[in-house]
Amino acid sequence: MAKISVLSDQVANQIAAGEVIERPASIVKELVENSLDAGSTAIEIEFKKGGTSFIRIEDNGCGMSEEDASLSLQRHATSKIKDANDLNKLTSMGFRGEALPSIASVSRFQLQTRETESESGTDILINGGKVVHHRECGMPPGTRMTISQLFNTVPARRKFLKTVATESAHIVHYARLYALAHPEVSFTLIDDGRTLFRTPACARLRDRVMEIFGKSVAGKLIEVDAKGKGMRLSGLIGAPGHSRSSRHEMLIFVNNRPVENRTLGYALIESYYGHIPKGRYPVAFLFLDLSPKDVDVNVHPAKREIRFRNESSVRGFAVRAILEALQKSVEIVATPIMRTAPIEKSARLGIEIDSENVVRSKRTPILASVRVESSAEKEVETPAKPKAMVEPVSTEISEIVPEIREKSNDEIVEVVDRDWHFIGWAQDDYALYDTDSGVVVLDYKAARRRVWYARLLASYKDRTVESQKLLLPVPVEFDPVSSAMLTDNAELLEAYGLEVAPFGRNFFRIEAVPSWLPENEAEAYLGDWVDLLRNGSISDKKTGPTQELLAKHAVNKIVRGASTPSAAELGELLDRLFETNNPLADPNGRPTFIEIAKSELNRRFHKG
């Protein structure tokens, strides 16, 4: 049996680095926190190749003396706390004293720092945990830390890093988080010599959001400011109807610390129920302030997650504050519209306006609004689908099924009547068919998704995506990070039918869209593209997964606005469905139709 021995400081630091330094972005996070704790008013972040080859963090903070600079490179050396009781009143970002020695043990690390009152600074260079030099240097007050050759002592760690684009996205994410958390501090972010954003000190959070995310995002935000039970929730949230396809812009800060917390995250999503579509996420920049003793930040090695002493109280307070802000925004928007609504239009909508211009609901029974079709209408639109306020059914078969072949009415009837005989509609979305072997229930939306999915995949693989030029280009604005992503992936977008041209700093023009996309959805569709690019979900290097993901995303948009098909259109849809490679399920794996056998019907009705 091996003897127990004490690990050397170098090995212990490398082990600690495995917990603290997950990726290059972790280094940026830890060093920016140190700069903020040093009272900096300007922080510059520069990196190259996703941070794997070079990272530089420079600030104008208080700096360190020669003695403190040497001590800062020892494990558990910190100026933030003195004993365990200080954890209950923690106000600084860092407190463990593990970051600098951990970083120095797995890279070539240079620390240059100078106090304001000192005539010269200190320069310490460490390579893989070993001191190369320790000397004086000339520099302005503040601290500069440079990291290169990351993971040079543990090369196996490099294999677990993602692509340069992914690692860069993580660094940008952390830089934006801390820039938002501290609007009073000037931030500069440089990637491979290109300035992604340079934002001055801002007096208001909305100004900082505008600098980083653009005017289009900042203009759709409403303010939140609520106090109660020793807590305060403030910040900006998206107005009702304003949402994103990912959580990238759902940012939460506790005592100015960017955190991940399920309690606050679920409270935010729950509050938006009914205000945004299902599957979408709100835009939010929320700040929760409470006593340090009521929150535990020492539950994760990277201080990313936190716990509240009273989770239910925090959740309830957050939900009430967000709902109140949303309700106020709805009242402000709705009141002028209701007061100016014509009397005849209000009557059709089932509301009434009294002498004091107060809007009241009539609670009209649902059946009263069902349109009764004439016999002539039924002959034209047979079979009719019972539905409140039924819209006229489109007779354009090409709107329901792509690439429809021209056929005579006899050929269409032959396709439908060959095995399946159309009966009618059930529960809005299901078409019923009588067959020789039983009854078939068709989900026409699922069938349409499968047909469009097959068509789009074929066009993507053949590089034959149909695109239509817009008569009037749609102007859009993005934050600097998203703008860089769009610029770098312009050719990829064009290959899938989206033509986007630069139109100034962080501004673009959508000049062409896929032929199936309505013009009024162009901006939202491009926003979804940006989210997917930033997630690393799509790229020009993984063609197959990218094509499948984009096709699934597209068919959901196409089917969502589809009109109810006629019997002839259903026949064409079935014809196309059985030409696909998997007619039994839609792209999400849901069945397109189910069959109830005649024997099962007889069994249910106790027939022999």
| Structure confidence at residue 487 as a pLDDT band (50, 70, 90) | confident
Looking from the CA of 365 toward its CB, the CA atoms found within 13 Å total: 2
pLDDT confidence of residue 414: 36
* pLDDT at residue number 518: 83
Q: Which among 29, 38, 107, 18 has a CA at the least distance from the CA of 303? A: 29
Q: Could you tell me if residue 342 is inside a domain?
A: no
Q: Mean pLDDT in the chain?
A: 79
Tokens 């920016």 sit on residue: 32
> Is it the case that residue 574 has pLDDT exceeding 80?
yes
Assigned domain for 161 exists: yes
**Highest mean pLDDT out of 289-293, 328-332, 538-542:** 289-293
What value does the CA radius of gyration of the chain take, rounded to a whole number of Å?
Answer: 31
| Per-residue pLDDT, 332 | 61
The phi and psi torsions of 589 (rounded to 5 degrees) equal 90, 0
Same domain, 303 and 161: no
pLDDT band per the 50, 70, 90 thresholds, residue 485: confident
Look at residue 515 and tell me whether its pLDDT is greater than 60: yes
Q: What is the pLDDT of residue 110?
A: 94
- Considering the domain boundaries, does residue 122 fall inside one? yes
> How far apart, in whole angstroms, are the C-alpha atoms of residue 485 and residue 487?
6
pLDDT band at 225 (very low <50, low <70, confident <90, very high): very high
Give the residue from 304, 333, 362 where a domain finishes. Answer: 333
The whole-number pLDDT of residue 349 equals 35
- pLDDT, average across residues 147-157: 85
pLDDT band, residue 227 (cuts 50/70/90) = very high
Which residue in 424, 223, 413, 426 sits closest to 325, CA to CA?
223
Backbone angles phi, psi at 580, to 5 degrees: -80, 170
Same structural domain, 171 and 236: no
386 lies in some domain? no
Stronger pLDDT, 506 or 302, i.e. the higher one? 506
Contacts of 51 (CB under 8 A, 6+ apart): 23, 24, 25, 27, 28, 150, 167, 168, 171
pLDDT in tens, 22-61: 889 999 999 999 999 899 999 999 999 999 899 999 999 9
Query: Same domain for 38 and 61?
Result: yes
Match 């760690």 to its residue by tokens.
157
Q: How far is CA 368 from the centre of its chain?
A: 42
pLDDT of residue 412: 36
Lowest mean pLDDT among 5-14, 286-295, 534-543, 598-607: 5-14
User: Does some domain include residue 210?
Assistant: no
Assign 432 to helix, strand or coil: strand
DSSP 269: H
The beta strands (E) that lie in 149-207 are given as 186-191, 194-199
Q: What is the pLDDT of residue 113?
A: 95
Question: What's the rounded mean pLDDT across residues 433-443?
Answer: 90
Residue 48: enclosing H or E segment and its boundaries? strand 42-48
> What tokens were used for 259?
């955190």
Domain that holds residue 466: 397-608
Give me the long-range contacts of 591-594 (CB less than 8 A, separation at least 24). 591/443, 591/446, 592/442, 592/443, 592/446, 592/447, 592/450, 593/440, 593/441, 593/442, 593/443, 593/446, 593/447, 594/440, 594/441
Whether 126 shows a pLDDT value over 80: the answer reads yes
Residue 462 has pLDDT above 60, yes or no: yes
pLDDT of residue 299: 66
What's the rounded Cα separation, in Å, for the pair 53 and 149?
Answer: 5
pLDDT at 233 over 90: yes
Total residues belonging to the chain: 608
CB 484 within 8 A of CB 212: no
**Two tokens, residue 180:** 């938002």
Question: Which CATH number characterizes residue 22's domain?
Answer: 3.30.565.10
Provide the percentage of residues in the chain whose pLDDT is more than 70.
Answer: 77
Is position 196 within any domain?
yes
pLDDT of 287 strictly over 90: yes
Tally Cβ neighbours within 10 Å of residue 605. Answer: 7
Looking at the structure, tell me whether residues 434 and 303 fall in a common domain. no
